Structure 1
Amino acid sequence: MSRIIPCPHCGQMNRHADGREAAKARCASCKAPLFDGKPVTLTAENFDRQVKSPDLPVLVDFWASWCGPCKAMAPVFERTAAAYADRLRFAKVDTDAEQALAARYQIRSIPTLVLLRGGQEVARVSGALPEGELRRWIAAHGIA
């Protein structure tokens, strides 16, 4: 069995066979790693392509550069992204630069984390979370 995974760099959809080592998976188009463990920057142009894969859930951090709690959450988000590299795509949306995306998801406070599966919102939480709490929240939504 295989999964369809969007490349975090160019957006090309790639087939990744289950059981194949994720660390070696590369995009067929741009040859970049499919699972590099780093959050993807999302914009209006690449958002839907990255979040609509039915095979890889996406955790989106809606943030802004002037937000103190967002800055405090950033290293936690990055560390956790590395731990879940092939099971959950981590992504960031700058709400100042991408106001239409923030409005589409009715972001009222930042940071706000939105968990998406197949492009559909599954859960959300607002406020900066410590790493342990973030991991528990992710696990509570079926991602081991």
Structure 2
Amino acid sequence: MAYTPTFIPESLTRADVDAQRGALVLEFGTNWCGWCRGAQPDIEAAFAQAGADVPHVKVEDGPGRRLGRSYGIKLWPTLVFLKDGQEVARLVRPDGSGAIAQALKQLSD
């Protein structure tokens, strides 16, 4: 799996994401967020366990960031699991790698 360690400024539009073919995981948050930093070991472990190659895009979120607003993001981190541009799972402030691994598995079903 392609775990990404750092949030990047918003570079994708909703149209880009909706047009994406295959699996994609969007993670909304910021590099300075304590909840986001605390979740990283579990997210990284789940990606390492899953064994498939799924792009992982960390989207730096905040006021005025359109992509996060289009998904109704309210708490960080929020992981949105997409297949062919359609949401198949969402985890808000995940606790443990098990739920993340299960959501990743849904992308390969």
**Shared fold by TM > 0.5?**
yes
- The answer for the alignment partner of 1:123 in structure 2 is 89
Between the aligned partners of 1:51 and 1:74, the Cα distance in structure 2 is 26
Between the aligned partners of 1:72 and 1:42, the Cα distance in structure 2 is 18
Between the aligned partners of 1:75 and 1:52, the Cα distance in structure 2 is 30
2:76 is paired with a residue whose SS is coil
Between the aligned partners of 2:91 and 2:43, the Cα distance in structure 1 is 13
Once the two structures are aligned, what percentage of the paired residues are identical?
23
- The answer for the alignment partner of 2:38 in structure 1 is 72
Between the aligned partners of 1:50 and 1:82, the Cα distance in structure 2 is 24
Moved more, 102-111 or 85-94: 85-94
What is the number of residues matched between the two proteins?
A: 107
Contact preservation (8 Å) 2:24, 2:81: yes
Closer/same/farther in 2, CA of residues 50 and 82 from structure 1, 3 Å limit: farther
Amino acid at match of 1:138: L
Between the aligned partners of 2:63 and 2:49, the Cα distance in structure 1 is 28
- The answer for the alignment partner of 1:57 in structure 2 is 23
Alignment of 1:1-144 (within 5 A): 37-39=2-4, 43-47=9-13, 49=16, 52-54=19-21, 56-84=22-50, 86-96=52-62, 99-139=65-105, 141-143=106-108
More helix by share: 2
CA RMSD of aligned residues (A): 3.0
Q: Work out which structure has the larger RCO, using CA pairs closer than 8 Å and 6 or more positions apart in sequence.
A: 2
Unmatched 5+ stretches in structure 1: 1-34
Contact preservation (8 Å) 1:65, 1:71: yes
TM-score under structure 2 length normalisation: 0.72
Closer/same/farther in 2, CA of residues 116 and 137 from structure 1, 3 Å limit: closer
TM-score under structure 1 length normalisation: 0.57
